[in-house]
With several copies, the nearest count.
Chain A
Amino acid sequence: MKDKVATLEQAVALVSDGDVVALQNMATQAAPMALVRELIRQRKRGIGLVVLVGGMAVDWLATAGVIDRLIGAAVTMEQFGLCQQYRRAVEGGRVRVEELSESLLNARLGAGARNLPFLPTRGALGTDLIALNPDNLQLIEDPFGGDTVLACRALVPDVALVHAHRADRYGNVQYEPTAIWPDIAIMPKAAKRVLVTVEEIVDTDVLRRNPDRTILPGFTVDAVVEVPYGAHPTSFFPNYGYDAVFHRRWTEVARDDARAKDFIDRYVLAPINQQEYLHAAGGAAALQRIADWEEGA
């Protein structure tokens, strides 16, 4: 099998301006933040972001002017509130939203993954989402005489970004038993290219001990980068929890464009690698905080 090991720089160089980029994550969980920071460092522009539920990553990408459209079901940092930078970008017309419910996004990505022109759902009937999006959502008749359903057009992202627990150098990617979000089950299958960060690159023999935990075969992956704590400040169970202190640090500045930009300068642009980023984010004290998630509330 082909060696897929890359640096963050090499991996993100596979993203072109204007690409549709799918981000695997939930509100405060499992976001491939090291790849997101590298998108900002490489000053990508005109990116269309696909998220099921996006959090701080969306805010940062909006602040840095990387994205100009979003295809997704929700953007929120859950208990830390709305993503204020994203919100301002949408309200100011700088980011255009194609809003889809979860089953609609699943159907669009599912069709993309299976090379089908569309998949039907029953979700969202009666909502205003349908009229908003005739290019991708059409009511169709059941050829067998049953109910009308909503056809959701295939979505094939140019790139999917994923953070996972471990991989071998050939891009076989493993996930520990934990919440498996829909994005991870279909985004990488639908996308043309897949970039993966992992907590650890291991020998293939380590994967062979638990073949049921392998979620992506190497042939679907274009680059794999070892980035310990690559999901910080989002959680990555069972390895670490979300960093509440860091989330609050962001929410304190995110309503102010200048302070938000300073934050990006300090935490994204200044640190030249993951180690420096973690140091800026609080170093050993931060890692201790997120290690203790199991006992914390």
Chain B
Amino acid sequence: MSDDWRSSPPAMDYSVDELMVTVLADQFHDGDQACNGMASFIPVAAFMLARATHAPELVWLASSVGLEPRPKRIPASTLEAPLWRDSVMYLEQYSDFWTYVLNGRWIGKFCVGAAQLDQYGNANNSVIGTDYHAPKVRLPGTAGLADLCSIGKQLYYWNPNHSPRSLVARVDFISGAGYLDGGDARERLGLGGGPQIVVSNLAVMDFHPDSKRMRLKSVHPGHTVEEVQAATGFELLLSEDGAPETQVPTQAQVRLIRDVIDPDGMRKRDLRRR
């Protein structure tokens, strides 16, 4: 595909979904094996963009089924056959996919969304409210999140609706283990991997190497540290270099996303849905 992405100037008219795609794409490199889940248009766009630019040897396992597919463009579902068109392999779920995932040596990177994420990167997709069996909101459920979080995977959270309701001091229910109570709590339980970054519609966050508390890594152009903090349900740490502006997509990246990868704009559904 295009190789002018390296020298391409910054885009002037990118939208926030495109920014989230490029930030996520930067996390995936040649030799990585990455997998998307349900309703994951932004991560799928990120994988496809990475493969089209800096990481042609990023192995993509589409929705845990299709290895190295060649979809015509991003279809209306990220968990249906049009996405895994032309796959090299259909992984049987029980014997193939879950074995490779559990093994630990393979398929190391997952993009996941969660209704609630807390300051230590614990995730909740189960219930809002304190009584599990009479919740205020019954969410979809943990699906594979509880597994991926506990078996050493590197997790890339994306959150298209940065708010005090989605980024909370403490999740109502841990359906995916982040850094638990912070510090070495995760390590003490023998769990490897863990949350790497959180890409929202306002900013990019990571986790302090010692305390494991979430900290601001960069703020998207047009937003301020104060605005991001006000939209967060707990105090965000600031990194030493303050909070630089998030690097914006290049013109070439935006062209690839709009014209080739996702001409139907499916990625915008991730923003609308929440």
Assess the B80–A28 pair: CB atoms within 8 A.
yes
Q: Closest CB of chain B to A46's CB: distance in Å? A: 17
Beyond A132-B132, A179-B81, A238-B81, whether A208 also contacts B86 by CB under 8 A is yes
Of A93, A99, A101, which contacts B144 at CB under 8 A?
Answer: A101
* A135 CB-CB contact with B under 8 Å: no
Interface centre among A76, A125, A238 (most CB of B within 10 A): A125
Q: Which of B70-98 contact A (CB under 8 A)?
A: 70, 73-82, 84, 86-95, 98
A244 to B98, CA, bound (A): 29
Assess the A214–B90 pair: CB atoms within 8 A.
yes
Assess the A79–B86 pair: CB atoms within 8 A.
no
* A106 CB-CB contact with B under 8 Å: yes
Of A93, A110, A237, A244, which contacts B134 at CB under 8 A?
Answer: A93
Q: Closest CB of chain A to B180's CB: distance in Å? A: 6
Chain B residues with Cβ below 8 Å from A121 are 102, 147
Beyond A296-B76, A297-B264, whether A87 also contacts B147 by CB under 8 A is no
Of A126, A128, A185, which contacts B94 at CB under 8 A?
Answer: A185
Q: Which of A32-84 contact B (CB under 8 A)?
A: 53, 72-76, 78-79, 81-82
A100 to B126, CA, bound (A): 10
Q: How large is the interface on A (under 10, 10 to 19, 20 to 34, 35 or more residues)?
A: 35 or more
Q: Closest CB of chain A to B82's CB: distance in Å? A: 7
Q: Which of A103-130 contact B (CB under 8 A)?
A: 103-104, 106, 110, 113-116, 121-129
Chain A residues with Cβ below 8 Å from B266 are 297
Assess the B141–A78 pair: CB atoms within 8 A.
no
Q: Which of B89-144 contact A (CB under 8 A)?
A: 89-95, 98-100, 102-104, 106, 125-126, 132-144
Chain A residues with Cβ below 8 Å from B74 are 297
Interface pick from B5-13, B42-50, B184-192, B216-224: B184-192
A11 to B128, CA, bound (A): 39
Assess the B102–A122 pair: CB atoms within 8 A.
yes
Q: How large is the interface on B (under 10, 10 to 19, 20 to 34, 35 or more residues)?
A: 35 or more
* B57 CB-CB contact with A under 8 Å: yes
Chain B residues with Cβ below 8 Å from A101 are 142-147
Assess the A123–B90 pair: CB atoms within 8 A.
no
Assess the A128–B173 pair: CB atoms within 8 A.
yes
Chain A residues with Cβ below 8 Å from B59 are 1, 217-219
* A293 CB-CB contact with B under 8 Å: yes
* B150 CB-CB contact with A under 8 Å: yes
* A186 CB-CB contact with B under 8 Å: yes
Assess the B150–A235 pair: CB atoms within 8 A.
no
Assess the B79–A26 pair: CB atoms within 8 A.
yes
Q: Which residue of A lies closest to B95 (CB)?
A: A185
Assess the B149–A211 pair: CB atoms within 8 A.
no
Beyond A1-B68, A126-B177, A208-B87, whether A106 also contacts B98 by CB under 8 A is yes
* B209 CB-CB contact with A under 8 Å: no
Assess the A185–B143 pair: CB atoms within 8 A.
no
Assess the A96–B133 pair: CB atoms within 8 A.
yes
Q: Closest CB of chain A to B184's CB: distance in Å? A: 13
* A273 CB-CB contact with B under 8 Å: no
A126 to B122, CA, bound (A): 10
* B202 CB-CB contact with A under 8 Å: no
* B161 CB-CB contact with A under 8 Å: no
Of B78, B89, B104, B126, which contacts A99 at CB under 8 A?
Answer: B126
Beyond A78-B39, A103-B147, whether A241 also contacts B142 by CB under 8 A is no
Chain A residues with Cβ below 8 Å from B132 are 97, 128, 132
Beyond A103-B102, A220-B106, whether A214 also contacts B134 by CB under 8 A is no
Chain B residues with Cβ below 8 Å from A91 are 134-138
Beyond A91-B136, A104-B146, A128-B175, whether A293 also contacts B81 by CB under 8 A is yes
Assess the A293–B82 pair: CB atoms within 8 A.
yes
Q: Closest CB of chain A to B212's CB: distance in Å? A: 13
Q: Which residue of A lies closest to B74 (CB)?
A: A297
Chain B residues with Cβ below 8 Å from A242 are 77, 80
Assess the B177–A212 pair: CB atoms within 8 A.
no
* B176 CB-CB contact with A under 8 Å: yes
A220 to B262, CA, bound (A): 30
Q: Closest CB of chain B to A103's CB: distance in Å? A: 4
Assess the B177–A127 pair: CB atoms within 8 A.
yes
Q: Considering the complex of A and B, which 10 residue pairs feature the smallest CB-CB distances, nearest first?
A: A126-B177, A214-B89, A101-B146, A123-B147, A74-B141, A76-B140, A74-B143, A182-B93, A90-B138, A124-B146
Q: Give A residues with C-beta under 8 Å from B.
A: 1-2, 26-29, 53, 72-76, 78-79, 81-82, 86-87, 90-91, 93, 96-97, 99-104, 106, 110, 113-116, 121-129, 132, 147-148, 168, 172, 177-182, 185-186, 189, 204, 207-208, 211-212, 214, 217-220, 235, 237-238, 241-242, 244, 293-294, 296-297
